[in-house]
Amino acid sequence: MDPLLVELGEAKMKDVEPILVRIEAASDDSVLPLFRTLLEGNLYYIEAEGQVVGQSDVNGETVYKDVFTQQTRTDLQKGDVDKIRVNNKLRGYLRNAMARIQLTAKSPSVRENAVRELLSKLDDDTVEVLEGLYPNETNKKVKEAMGLALAMNTASQTGLAPSNRIAAIEKMSTSLESDVRNLLTRLTRDDSAAVVSAANAALEKIAQRVNRFAFVDQLFFGLSLGSVLLLASIGLAITFGVMGVINMAHGEMIMLGAYTTYVVQLIMPNYIDYSIWVAIPAAFLVSGLMGVLIERLVICRLHGRPLETLLATFGISLILQQLVRTIFSPLNRQVSTPSWMSGSWEINPVLSLTLNRLYILAFALLVFIVLVIVLKKTSLGLNVRAVSQNRNMAKAMGVKTNWVDAMTFGLGSGIAGIAGVALSQLTNVGPNLGQSYIIDSFMVVVFGGVGNLLGTLVAAFTLGIATKFLEPTTGAVLAAILVLVFIILFIQKRPKGLFPQKGRAAE
C-alpha cells in the first residue's frame, strides 16, 4: 500500500487514475476514508515521510489527521504538506469506486445508494459482484435495487432470448431511475421487434408517472416563487396597505436584512448552522429600527400626501443603497447556507424538493400567520386597525397615532428585514438586492387588494404559480411580461384588486 501512496502523492494529475485503480484492486473497504478524503479535496501528501494525511478545519484552525487511524498529527505545519489535487474525472472515478466498495457496507441505505450509483456503470465485474450478493441480501429495498440492476443487465444482453429480456424490461418499468429510461430508450432501437415494443410500452408507463411528478415539481416551484414574493411583499402590505405609504425604500429594508445576515455570519463564523436563528431577530430589529427612524424623520411629516411619500422614500432608497455600497463595498457579499438547509429531500428519482426552498415556504407561511395573529389579537394590532380605518376617531379615543404609525412602519420594515434573511439564502447579497424585488412586491399587493393580508397571500401564490407554469412554454422573460400585462388588465377590471374593501368606508 505505502509505495502506491508515494506514487499517488508524486503523480501528475493525469496519471492519478491508474494509480487509484491499483489502490482499489489492492485493498478492501479500509481504503474508504482515503477515497473520501481525496474526493473532498482534503488529502495532503507529506513528502518527507512518503505518507498521506487528511486536513480539516476545526473552529477556524487547520488540523491534520492520519487518514486511516484518525490520529491527530500536531507536528505538521502547512509547509510540510502538498495537496493532492483532484479534478472532475477523478471525482467521478472515486465516487464509483466507493460505491463498489460500499456494496457490502453494513448500513442498508448505504448499500442501496451504492447500487443506485452503479446503475449507470454496469460493467461485467460489477454485475458479477451483484449476482453474488443478490441471493443473500436481506433488506427489501436493497434487494429491489439490486434486482433492478440485474434486470437492466439482462435486458441489455442482446444474446439472451427475447422472452427473458422482455420479462426484465417489465421489471424495469416500475422504476423511475433516469438510467432505466436511458437504457429503455436505447432498447427501442433493438433488433428484436418484441423487445422494442416492450421497451416502448415500459417507457410510456414510466412517462405517465414522470409527468405526474413533473407537475408536482412545477407546482412546488410555483409555491416556492410565491413564498419569496409573499415574503418580499408582506411588509409592504402593511406599510402600503394599512398606512397608505408608498415606500420605495421597502426593497432597501429587505437589503438591510440580508446584510444583517452577512454581518451575523461574520461575527460567528464557526456557528453558521445557528446563525440564521440570530439573524432573524437581528434583521427584524435593524430594519424595524430603520423603519421607525424613517417614519419619525420623514414620513410622519407627509401625512395625507401618499404620492409624495413615494418621492421622499425613493430618495431614502438611493441613500441607503449608497450607504451599504460605502460600508460594505459594491461587491456582493458571501452568505453561507447552513448545512441543514442545503441539499434536497429526494422523494423519488424524479421528484426532489430543495430543502432551502421548502424551509422558506414554511417560513413565509409562519411569518404570515404570526402577522395575522399580531394584527388580530394584540393591542398593537387593534390600534393599527383603528388608525388605518379612521385616524381622527382613533386619536379622539386616545390612541397615540404617532406612536402607532411608527410601530406599524417599524413592523412592516422589520418583516421586510426578515424577508432579507430568507432571500440571502437564495440570491445575491448586494446593494441592488432590494431593487429587484420592489416592483414585484407592489404588483403583489395591488393585485391582492390594498389593505388585505389574505389578498397578499393569495396574490403572491397565484403569481408565483402562474409564472412557473408559463415559463416552460414561453421562457422566463415572456412569462414575466405576460404576468405583468395580466395584472394591468386585471386592475382595469377590478380596480381594487382581488379582495377589495367594500362599502362606504372604502370610498
Partner 1 sequence: MKIKTLTSAIVLSGATLIALPSLAADTIKVGVLHSLSGTMAISETTLKDTVLMMVDEQNKKGGLLGKKVEAVVVDPASNWPLFAEKGRELLTKDKVDVIFGSWTSVSRKSVLPVLEELNGLMFYPVQYEGEESSKNVFYTGAAPNQQAIPAVDYLMNDLGVERFVLAGTDYVYPRTTNKILEAYLKAKGVAAKDIMINYTPFGHSDWQSIVSDINKFGSEGMKTAVVSTINGDANVPFYKELGNQGISSEDIPVVAFSVGEEELSGLDTKPLVGHLAAWNYFQSVETPENEAFIKAWHAYTKNSDRVTNDPMEATYIGFKMWANAVTKAGTTDVDAVEQAMIGQTTPNLTGGVAVMNKNHHLSKPVLIGEIQDNGQFEVVWETDGVVAGDAWSDFLPGSKDLISDWTAPIKCGNYNTKTKSCSGQNY
Partner 2 sequence: MSTLDSTRELFRRDQVWPFLAPAQAEVNVGNQMILYVEDLNLSFDGFKALNNLNLYINDGELRCLIGANGAGKTTLMDVITGKTQCDSGTVFFGQNHNLLNKDEAEIAQLGIGRKFQKPTVFEEQTVFDNLELSLKTDKRVLPTLFSRLTPTQIDRIDEVLKTIGLAKHRFMLAGALSHGQKQWLEIGMLLVAEPRLLLIDEPVAGMTAQETERTAELLTSLAGERTVIVVEHDMEFVRSIARTVTVLHQGSVLAEGTMDQIQSNKDVIEVYLGEEAAAGEQA
Partner 3 sequence: MKRLTAWFSEGRSTGKHTLPFVVILLSVTILASAANLLLPADSVFYVSTYTITLLGKYLCYAMLALAVDIIWGYCGILSLGHGAFFALGGYAMGMYLMRQIGDRGVYGNPLLPDFMVFLDWKELPWFWLGMDQFWFAMLMAVLVPGLLAFVFGWLAFRSRVTGVYLSIMTQALTYALLLAFFRNEMGFGGNNGLTDFKEILGFSLQADSTRVALFLITAILLAVVFVVSQKILSSRLGKVVLAIRDSESRSRFIGYRTDRYKVWLFVYSAVIAGIAGALYVPQVGIINPGEFSPINSIEMVIWVAVGGRGTLIGAVIGALLVNYAKTRFTAIMPDAWLFALGAMFVLVTLYLPKGLMGLYGQLKAKRNSVMNKESQA
Enumerate residues 458-477 that contact partner 3 by CB under 8 A: 477
Query: Which region among 196-204, 298-306, 356-364, 366-374 touches partner 3 (by CB under 8 A)?
Result: 298-306
Conformation bin of residue 297: beta by default, left when phi > 0, alpha when psi is -120 to 50: alpha
Asked if 487 interacts with partner 3 (CB under 8 A), we say yes
Q: Does 429 bind partner 1 (CB under 8 A)?
A: yes
CA gap 80, 74 in Å, rounded: 12
Rg of the chain taking only CA atoms, in angstroms: 30
Report the interhelical angle of 16-26 vs 88-102 (nearest 10°).
Answer: 10
- Residue 492 interface partner, choices partner 3, partner 1, partner 2, none, CB cut-off 5-8 Å depending on type: partner 3
Is residue 310 within the footprint of partner 3 (CB under 8 A)? yes
Query: To which H or E segment does residue 303 belong?
Result: none
Residues that bind partner 2 (CB under 8 A): 502-504
- 16-21 own/partner pairs: CB under 8 Å, 24+ apart: 16/84, 16/86, 16/90, 17/89, 17/90, 17/93, 20/90, 20/93, 20/94, 20/97
Please list every residue from 288 through 347 that binds partner 1, using CB under 8 A.
Answer: 322, 325, 329-337, 342-344, 346
Assess 331 for contact with partner 3 (CB under 8 A). no
Of 2, 47, 128, 308, the one binding partner 3 (CB under 8 A) is 308
The string of DSSP codes covering 24-81 is HHH--GGGHHHHHHHHTT-EEEETTTTEEEEEEEETTEEEEE-TTT--EETT--GGGE
- 88-96, 204-212, 409-417, 481-489 -> range binding partner 3 (CB under 8 A): 481-489
Report 211-240 residues binding partner 1 (CB under 8 A). 217-218, 221, 224-225, 228
Decide if 448 contacts 234 (C-beta within 8 A).
Answer: no
Cβ atoms of 313 and 246 within 8 Å: the answer is yes
Residue whose C-alpha is closest to residue 468's, from 226, 230, 234, 237: 226
Q: Which one, 92 or 500, has the nearer CB to partner 2? A: 500
Residue 472: which of partner 2, partner 3, partner 1, none does it interact with, CB under 5 to 8 A by kind?
Answer: partner 1
Least distance (Å) from partner 3 to the CB of residue 375?
21
In the bound state with partner 1, the residue whose beta carbon lies nearer, of 151 and 341, is 341
Residue 122 touches partner 1, criterion: CB under 8 A = no
Q: Contact with partner 3 (CB under 8 A): which of 41, 132, 269, 315? A: 315
- Complex with partner 3: residue 188 or 436, whichever CB lies closer: 436
Q: In angstroms, rounded to a whole number, what is the distance separating the alpha carbons of residues 440 and 436? A: 8
The residues in 378-437 that bind partner 3, with binding defined as CB under 8 A, are 435
Distance in angstroms (rounded) separating the CA atoms of residues 171 and 152: 9
Distance CA 115, CA 118 (A): 5
CA 499 to chain centre: 32
Candidate residues 24, 112, 252, 471; the one interacting with partner 1 per rule CB under 8 A: 471
C-alpha cell at 304: 395625507
- Residues making contact with partner 3 (CB under 8 A): 240, 244, 246, 248, 298, 301-302, 305-308, 310-312, 314-319, 321-323, 325-326, 435, 439, 442-443, 446, 450, 477-478, 480-481, 484-485, 487-489, 491-493, 495-496
- Residues making contact with partner 1 (CB under 8 A): 13, 41, 85, 87-89, 91-92, 95, 120, 178-179, 181-183, 185-186, 217-218, 221, 224-225, 228, 322, 325, 329-337, 342-344, 346, 352, 354-357, 425-432, 436, 467-468, 471-472, 475-477, 480
